[in-house]
Structure 1
């Protein structure tokens, strides 16, 4: 058992795979276990999940720097970004990072039948080229190797008229974020936000008009009175984009996200990046300011696995991710395995 930032985690030594699956705190796991037990015994009631949904929504809003009424819920990032992709005008030009996670790029590429074109560019060129495109869609932190997008350059591009769509799945939870200026900011629960899979959110700028293609009962102004019949009566804010919540995902997120949002995220970043950059330095790599490190060394993935460490194979290398429950001992174990 480990204690980190006031919470307990039943995370094993050498777990360096948060970028794939985050490990919940005991408080999160216990909340989900209670909800499952109530479901199993017939004691659960659908209306009782509204509060966890609202708490998690507010937590995500705080983590990305917006008001909660700008946040829509979903089950995964790609359907949320898909609403944005479906809303761009015919013939729009979209810029994405080369090797971008496909939940960001595929929704736009799927619009090719409307003349939408998607161009890939190296991540370090995205900011400079953004003004030449109608939309830029990029992860704040790249899944494959942890590189960080130039948010200030993207903010400037947005001011000049380019729509900016961001995925914070590999950033929110360890990186302080103030992204109220972006057109859309989407993120999933089950990595750095330490919640069950099945919950995702998207903050939408008031100037971005979206059609709620998947509108259902939970998108209603009063969800419990919009379960039958017409006319259309959607919420007046971003809830009009909601899809029906995956209950247990939000039960966990309702504990995890408000807790994360209440932490000193500069201290969290310092901890996570400090471990990652310490590992990088010992490997002869320059500091990168990211909590994710990918080692491009032959046999690295196998050696880490043989030593009992949990990492991921990404982009032809071994990806290590350092979150708030990791320690110097995890760094040492990884280095010992690779030496």
Structure 2
């Protein structure tokens, strides 16, 4: 079976909108139906082993990203986990941000009134970050691994260098537009925190997410180490950090779906996915550059993600919609994104409409 057979929506459209929401796979739908049928038939007894079930999901997430299971937490989305982490930091933390990063990264930091400063997203972004660190002296750098509008991806070698040069500065990353697109090793990354929603490139649907922590990040959440834990018997064995990041009941359907999505990624092969996405990204960037559709900052970058923002007219955008090429307007352009179930033929279909447009 070809991977495209897992996604029936591909038969009716050229789907280039994973940066907004991924498609649902057949295998995942099958598992979800079995899950709910069991709940229907068994009622309360269905939840009899939910704790072990969720521990298994955590192990699956941790193994996939080369993280520690005890420092892996299951979330409803990135925003919940990131806000929760920020609320545990001391108010004196100084935070460096990227201009026009995803609102769920920048807004809570602004709202909580941390001292903060910005660096523009540009072709020379990494050099600009180093210069800003020297003058602003942040204790935290919070950013998206991939920018949601432009698709600009931060240099991962730079992140390792940054951690080596400033070991006490926390690196907090939003991986929502990145996780699931290529091989990633959290322990070796230099990051102190990686949080992500699961409904985009991870293919896990809405309501799912996760957070990975290094010990240094946990140590900065001083009040979480409190010995004042709940006295209820069913909570006594819970880790303080689990109580902090995972309060209340958790949905086995949602997090079971996250596990099934990871199993599908593993079945396809994360290295295979990496290779497909890199190939599509390179081919797309060349084609879009030739047509003058990309910003100078994107053109000058050596590496790029699978997301592109194209300088297209409203007329061309409407023609794309009429041809069932699924994409959206973001910022000043039209955003498209390629995942491993896309092909060079999808890129060719997109280019054909663009090239025949009266005015793109």
Instruction: Output the TM-score relative to the length of structure 1.
Output: 0.85
Could you say if the C-alpha distance between residues 117 and 238 of structure 1 is closer, same or farther in structure 2, counting changes exceeding 3 Å? same
Deviation, structure 1 residue 157: 2.8
Could you say if the C-alpha distance between residues 42 and 188 of structure 1 is closer, same or farther in structure 2, counting changes exceeding 3 Å? same
Where 1:142 maps in the other structure, the secondary structure is coil
In structure 2, the partner of 1:298 is 313
Could you say if the C-alpha distance between residues 89 and 237 of structure 1 is closer, same or farther in structure 2, counting changes exceeding 3 Å? closer
In structure 2, the partner of 1:10 is 8
Instruction: Say if 1:104 and 1:137, in contact at 8 Å, map to a contact too.
Output: yes
Where 1:207 maps in the other structure, the secondary structure is helix
Instruction: Say if 2:74 and 2:209, in contact at 8 Å, map to a contact too.
Output: yes
Could you say if the C-alpha distance between residues 20 and 56 of structure 1 is closer, same or farther in structure 2, counting changes exceeding 3 Å? farther
What is the rounded CA distance, in whole Å, between the counterparts of 2:159 and 2:6 in structure 1?
Answer: 37
Q: Between Structure 1 and Structure 2, how many residues are aligned?
A: 324
- After superposition, residues 47-62 of structure 1 pair within 5 angstroms as 47-62=48-63
Q: Does 1:200 align with 2:199?
A: no
In structure 1, the partner of 2:132 is 129
Q: Does 1:93 align with 2:91?
A: no
What is the rounded CA distance, in whole Å, between the counterparts of 1:130 and 1:63 in structure 2?
Answer: 32
Instruction: Say if 1:130 and 1:157, in contact at 8 Å, map to a contact too.
Output: no
Could you say if the C-alpha distance between residues 271 and 27 of structure 1 is closer, same or farther in structure 2, counting changes exceeding 3 Å? same
RMSD (Å), alpha carbons: 2.8
Where 1:73 maps in the other structure, the secondary structure is strand
In structure 2, the partner of 1:308 is 324
- Tell me which moved more, 233-242 or 296-305: 233-242
In structure 2, the partner of 1:167 is 174
Instruction: Say if 1:130 and 1:136, in contact at 8 Å, map to a contact too.
Output: no
Instruction: Output the TM-score relative to the length of structure 2.
Output: 0.80
Where 2:212 maps in the other structure, the secondary structure is strand
What is the rounded CA distance, in whole Å, between the counterparts of 2:131 and 2:63 in structure 1?
Answer: 29
- After superposition, residues 42-81 of structure 1 pair within 5 angstroms as 43=43, 45-81=46-82
Deviation, structure 1 residue 275: 1.9
Gaps in structure 2 of 5+ consecutive residues: 356-360
Instruction: Say if 2:61 and 2:259, in contact at 8 Å, map to a contact too.
Output: no
Deviation, structure 1 residue 127: 4.9
Q: Does 1:337 align with 2:345?
A: no
Deviation, structure 1 residue 57: 2.0
Q: Does 1:242 align with 2:250?
A: no
Deviation, structure 1 residue 313: 1.5
What is the rounded CA distance, in whole Å, between the counterparts of 1:327 and 1:52 in structure 2?
Answer: 36
- After superposition, residues 134-283 of structure 1 pair within 5 angstroms as 134-159=139-164, 160=166, 161-180=168-187, 181-208=190-217, 209=219, 210=221, 225-226=233-234, 234-235=238-239, 241-243=245-247, 244-261=249-266, 264-283=269-288
Gaps in structure 1 of 5+ consecutive residues: none
Instruction: Say if 1:59 and 1:257, in contact at 8 Å, map to a contact too.
Output: yes
What is the rounded CA distance, in whole Å, between the counterparts of 2:303 and 2:337 in structure 1?
Answer: 13
Could you say if the C-alpha distance between residues 53 and 211 of structure 1 is closer, same or farther in structure 2, counting changes exceeding 3 Å? farther
Instruction: Say if 1:63 and 1:172, in contact at 8 Å, map to a contact too.
Output: no
What is the rounded CA distance, in whole Å, between the counterparts of 2:117 and 2:265 in structure 1?
Answer: 35
Could you say if the C-alpha distance between residues 59 and 143 of structure 1 is closer, same or farther in structure 2, counting changes exceeding 3 Å? farther
Please tell me whether Structure 1 or Structure 2 has the larger radius of gyration of its CA atoms.
Answer: 2
